[in-house]
Amino acid sequence: MKIRLAAPIQVNSVVDGEGIRAIIWTQGCLHNCKGCHNQTTHDLKGGELVEIEKLKEEIMKLSIEDGITFSGGEPFLQAKACSILAKFIKEQDLNIWCYTGFIFEDIIKDKDKLKFLKYIDVLVDGPFILSKKSLNLTFRGSSNQRIIDVQRSLHENKTITISKYDVIINEKIYQKDATIFI
Ligand code: SF4
């Protein structure tokens, strides 16, 4: 099976999730967020098709990374391929973060997306909203986006954000009370 990527696996990232991470840049996105910084990743036929087995070999060579982040593009548009990779990543004892323009509550309604979600530790969800952009936020671009503890959320059947990433802007706590516009 192949996955469409926007770029080769990036190593040694410290800005796309906690710790030192490798990034899988998926190609293809339909959210069309105004102000998106990754517009070259939108074309569903862009980037390059890569064999998943080849990526597994690259992942096995990682040495200092704590985990892997799926970004893009929209990883959940390739949920089946991402599931296969994510299963392998967990078998290597690496944690998984994933950025998505979808929201958690919609992802769990879709069988293939849910299957991928079940391998993820931390989900940064929701579209980037330019009017809610803030440089004070940790690991996300706009204040509507939430940093979600996926395993606890699935277990307790409600969306649970990770409070250590909460940020107070103008006396308002963001992400605990994040407002989602889609
Ligand atoms: S979801 Fe991400 S990649 Fe897609 S348009 Fe929005 S910011 Fe850009």
Identify the DSSP state of 179.
Answer: P
Q: Which residue has the tokens 């059947």?
A: 157
CA-proximal residue: ligand 1, atom 1 (nearest): 101
Give yes or no for a contact between 71 and 24, defined as CB atoms under 8 angstroms apart: yes
CATH topology for the 2-174 domain: TIM Barrel (3.20.20)
Return the percentage of the chain with pLDDT > 90, whole number.
Answer: 86
Q: Tens of pLDDT along 5-57? A: 999 999 999 999 999 999 999 999 999 999 999 999 999 999 999 999 999 99
CA-proximal residue: ligand 1, atom 6 (nearest): 33
Residue 29 CA, closest ligand 1 atom number: 4
pLDDT beyond 90 at 171: no
pLDDT beyond 70 at 132: yes
CA-proximal residue: ligand 1, atom 3 (nearest): 73
What's the CA-to-centroid distance between 180 and ligand 1, angstroms? Answer: 15
Mean of the per-residue pLDDT values for the chain?
93
Helix (H/G/I), strand (E/B), else coil: 37: coil
- Burial tier of 21 (Cβ tally within 10 Å: 0-12, 13-18, 19+): buried
Domain boundaries, the chain: 2-174
Residue type, 182: I
Alpha helix segments (H runs only) across 13-141: 52-60, 79-91, 104-107, 111-117
The predicted pLDDT at position 176 comes to 52
The predicted pLDDT at position 136 comes to 83
Residue 99 CA, closest ligand 1 atom number: 2
Q: Which residue has the tokens 């409600």?
A: 158
What's the CA-to-centroid distance between 155 and ligand 1, angstroms? Answer: 28
Residue 141 CA, closest ligand 1 atom number: 7
As a whole number of angstroms, the distance between CA 159 and CA 179 comes to: 13
Task: Give the distance, in angstroms, between the CA of residue 121 and the centroid of all CA atoms in the same chain.
Answer: 10
Residue type, 50: V
